[in-house]
């Protein structure tokens, strides 16, 4: 078991997309690869933390030494997150679908029977907001990500306030950035006590940086 600045700490991380089923062969999803969340999980583990990684459907090998819980939908991800707590830190890196199809048919939707020209959607539970607002056993540090395409910092600040997490990590995912799915990321860490804009770096370097930054925060109380 590795020893490091996070030894003795328990960390729960969500990663990847969610797939929201429409019928037995179709789903509503997104382009998240899980790379950033997996990189954070591996880095926290390398620093000695006990890590549970709750992962949507991705094509990545599980990070060594982490407990991995595989889920598909937002509702499954919420249930797995609640089951994995209590923890010292919760990190919501998953790109959770905000909405899911209101009806999941057990038969494949057929074009010749009128087919599919519109999808009714209903709102999914918000995992980050739920964990941030737990009345009992709230993790000491709750960290969200904010994937934005315009007014990145402004929208991220608003999300931090609305969801009531401690930190939010603002990500510019505009077309051309290749952050979703790619190997590099450019973020600003918003802590409520100042913003820290980091240069572009590989996702595993950002994972290692965050592990150190989290350890510093936990020891400062
Ligand atoms: O997976 P990669 O390809 O490596 O890409 C990484 C990433 C771009 C997906 C990641 O760095 C990132 O930004 N993740 C958050 C993506 C997202 O869905 O952001 P959001 O702004 O829609 O959501 C804000 C926060 O609320 C996120 O922490 C999200 O996990 C959380 N959330 C959102 C909706 C919901 N129903 N439940 C949630 O917990």
The per-residue pLDDT for 106 is 87
User: DSSP assignment, residue 95?
Assistant: B
CA 39/CA 93 separation, integer angstroms: 10
Q: Please state the atom number of ligand 1 nearest to the C-alpha of residue 35.
A: 4
Q: Which helix (H) or strand (E) holds 188?
A: strand 187-190
**Annotation marks residue 30 as catalytic:** yes
DSSP character at residue 111: G
pLDDT tens digits for range 92-122:
999 999 999 998 888 888 777 666 788 999 9
Q: What ipTM was predicted for this assembly?
A: 0.99
Ligand 1 atom closest to residue 145's alpha carbon, by position in its atom list = 28
Those residues with Cβ within 8 angstroms of residue 89's Cβ, 6 or more apart along the chain or in another chain: 9, 10, 11, 12, 49, 139, 140, 141, 142, 143, 214, 218
pLDDT of 79: 98
Q: Above pLDDT 90, what percent of the chain?
A: 87
Residue 199, CA atoms < 13 Å, CB-side half-sphere: 1
Question: Distance from the CA of 15 to the center of ligand 1, in angstroms?
Answer: 8
- Quote the pLDDT of residue 111: 72
pLDDT over 90 (residue 221): no
- What gap in Å lies between CA 207 and CA 66, rounded to an integer? 14
13 lines ligand 1 (CB under 6 A): no
What pairing do the DSSP bridges indicate for beta strands 187-190 and 195-197?
A: antiparallel
Report d(CA 81, CA 17) in Å as an integer.
15
pLDDT value at 148 more than 80: yes
pLDDT, residue 108, reads: 86
Backbone angles phi, psi at 12, to 5 degrees: -110, 130
* pLDDT tens figures, 15-35: 999 999 999 999 999 999 999
Average pLDDT on 173-179 reads 89
**pLDDT digits 0-9 by tens, 77-96:** 999 999 999 999 999 999 99
Backbone angles phi, psi at 95, to 5 degrees: -95, 85
Alpha carbon of 129 to ligand 1 centroid (Å): 12
What is the CA(30)–ligand 1 centre distance, in A? Answer: 10
**Average pLDDT, rounded, for the chain:** 95
Phi and psi dihedrals of 121, rounded to 5? -120, 150
The pLDDT of residue 51 is 98
Give SS3 for 162.
helix
Strand partners, 202: 184
Mean pLDDT of 52-62: 98
Q: Which domains does the chain have, with CATH numbers?
A: 10-220 (3.40.50.10300)
How far is it, in rounded angstroms, from Cα 60 to Cα 55?
10
């Amino acid at each position: 078991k590795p020893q490091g600045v996070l030894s003795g700490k328990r960390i729960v991380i969500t990663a990847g997309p969610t797939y929201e089923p429409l019928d037995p062969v179709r789903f509503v999803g997104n382009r998240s690869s899980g790379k950033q969340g997996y990189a954070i999980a591996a880095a926290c583990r390398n620093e000695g933390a006990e890590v549970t990684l709750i992962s949507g459907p991705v094509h990545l090998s599980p990070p060594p030494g982490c407990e991995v819980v595989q889920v598909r939908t937002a509702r499954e991800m919420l249930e797995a997150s609640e089951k994995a707590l209590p923890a010292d830190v919760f990190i919501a890196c998953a790109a959770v679908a905000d909405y899911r199809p209101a009806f999941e048919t057990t038969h494949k939707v057929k074009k010749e029977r009128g087919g599919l020209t519109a999808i009714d959607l209903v709102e999914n539970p918000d995992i980050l907001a739920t964990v941030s607002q737990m009345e009992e056993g709230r993790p000491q540090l709750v960290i969200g990500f904010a994937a934005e395409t315009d007014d990145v910092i402004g929208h991220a600040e608003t999300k931090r306030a609305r969801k009531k997490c401690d930190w939010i990590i603002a990500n510019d995912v505009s077309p051309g950035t290749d952050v979703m799915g790619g190997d590099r990321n450019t973020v600003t860490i918003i802590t409520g006590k100042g913003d820290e804009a980091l240069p572009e770096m590989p996702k595993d370097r950002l994972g290692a940086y965050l592990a150190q930054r989290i350890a510093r925060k936990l020891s400062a109380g």
